[in-house]
Amino acid sequence: MSLAQTKETDVSKRLAEMKVSQSGWSAPARKEAYDRLMKMGMPQRRDEYWKYTRPDTLTSGEAIPAAVQKDSEGPIFDELDSHKLVFVDGVYSETLSDGLSLTGAVLELLSTTEEVDIHWAKSLYGSLEKNGQTPVARPLAAFNSAFAEEGILLHVKETLSKPISLHYIHGSETSDVILHHVIKVDAGARATILESGAVAARCNTVIEAEIEQGGQLNHIRAQGRDHERRAVTHVFAQLEEHSQFKSFTLTMNGVLTRNETVIDMRGDDSIAHVAGASVGDGDFHHDDTVFITHDALRGESRQVFKKVLRNGATGVFQGKILVKPGAQKTDGYQISQSLLLDDDSQFLAKPELEIYADDVACSHGSTSGAIDEEALFYLRSRGVAADEATNLLTLAFLSEALSEVENEDIAELINARLEGWLKRRR
């Protein structure tokens, strides 16, 4: 048996051993997702969409163990006034959390509603993921819909007074976690969702977010610093008229991260911003894969991704703007940039535009570069030591992505973490 076949069998064995839940409101959606997955198969290295990132450790039978890192800095969003929900290796912790009662929203857990037959999330669960499977297949998201064990079901009916903070504690070295969150934001309502923490040795998370007319959802995520953790995440957002979705992800460390964001701008005048700042040193592979579909008038989308790479770290960006026929006055912007702090690191970028409307403005750019020597000398000539000057310029490089975070308190917390990360590497 060849090595490839061994791995194939390993994946099949994993799937055969897993049970799709047969009962409750999500059962039909899970069954459908399972069937989708069987048709697509798990991602393979030869798949075009996985050309730059090897999927094998994400699909393998067992998660590769990952050491739990002592976190001296503490959870990043703890300083903020938020409604906190904590998951330890994917299991909701009642004692560590603020509970499920919330003014202006219905907040439930996937696991505890399992036996209910009728549920508001029924029409959403798996449906945004399903829509996101064309034109590009995302088997690991279908896998998630079929097998997710936990997640929040959040129906935002009014503007929430404070963010909901999901904090994920990585507890066991061998944890393998599947989380699936469903969020519905009603017309005119606003909510902010924060995510933080390393989750598990391996995690697969999906967020499906439907934002009704005039609704707004902010999503800010800080992926945990555990060096050996692996993560594949999908965010599916569906935007109705005048709605807004803004998502920012901070990634520091992690041996493998694949973050996919799939946005369907189906309502006129909707706004979608997706941004990310990632910093990696050494054994670090970080992949941002974004697919934004403009299918309505006057949509505005922005993708801003910045990566700082050193000691052989790898960054990947696959970003696409698809402008469908009739999506006139679309305003699309996409930038992906890497700062390579040495010659060993690499950045692989595949920016794509596909436009079927004639009255649109779309721009995109992608660059890789080193620290600007002129700027470095200028700073040093003013007395700033070389390493401090390099850090200052590195933060400056990341600042365009960071400026996508509208809340200044949150932006400051993120900046402080980045500063800390850079200082530890002097």
Nearer to another protein, 4 or 416 (CB): 416
Beta-bridge partner residues of 24 = none
Nearer to another protein, 40 or 395 (CB): 395
What CA–CA distance (Å, rounded) separates 228 from 256? 8
Q: Which of residues 332-391 bind another protein (CB under 8 A)?
A: 372-375, 377-386, 388-389
Nearer to another protein, 102 or 384 (CB): 384
CB of 372 to another protein, least distance (A): 8
CB of 381 to another protein, least distance (A): 5
Please name the residue that has the structure tokens 């999506």.
327
426 binds another protein (CB under 8 A): no
How does strand 176-185 pair with strand 190-197? unpaired
| CA 295 centroid distance within chain | 22
Among 57, 131, 213, 399, binds another protein (CB under 8 A): 399
Q: Which of residues 64-93 bind another protein (CB under 8 A)?
A: none
Nearer to another protein, 106 or 384 (CB): 384
Please, are residues 199 and 229 in contact by the beta-carbon 8 Å criterion? yes
CB of 391 to another protein, least distance (A): 10
Nearer to another protein, 356 or 377 (CB): 377
CB of 417 to another protein, least distance (A): 17
Please, are residues 120 and 106 in contact by the beta-carbon 8 Å criterion? yes
How does strand 314-323 pair with strand 285-294? parallel
What CA–CA distance (Å, rounded) separates 129 from 425? 39
Nearer to another protein, 53 or 337 (CB): 337
What CA–CA distance (Å, rounded) separates 166 from 152? 9
What CA–CA distance (Å, rounded) separates 367 from 306? 10
Among 400, 407, 419, 425, binds another protein (CB under 8 A): 400
What CA–CA distance (Å, rounded) separates 52 from 314? 9
If you ran DSSP here, which 8-state letter would residue 121 be given?
G
| Number of amino acids touching another protein (CB under 8 A) | 24
Among 397, 410, 417, 418, binds another protein (CB under 8 A): 397
User: Radius of gyration of the chain from Cα atoms?
Assistant: 21
Q: What residue ranges bind another protein (CB under 8 A)?
A: 372-375, 377-386, 388-389, 392-393, 395-400
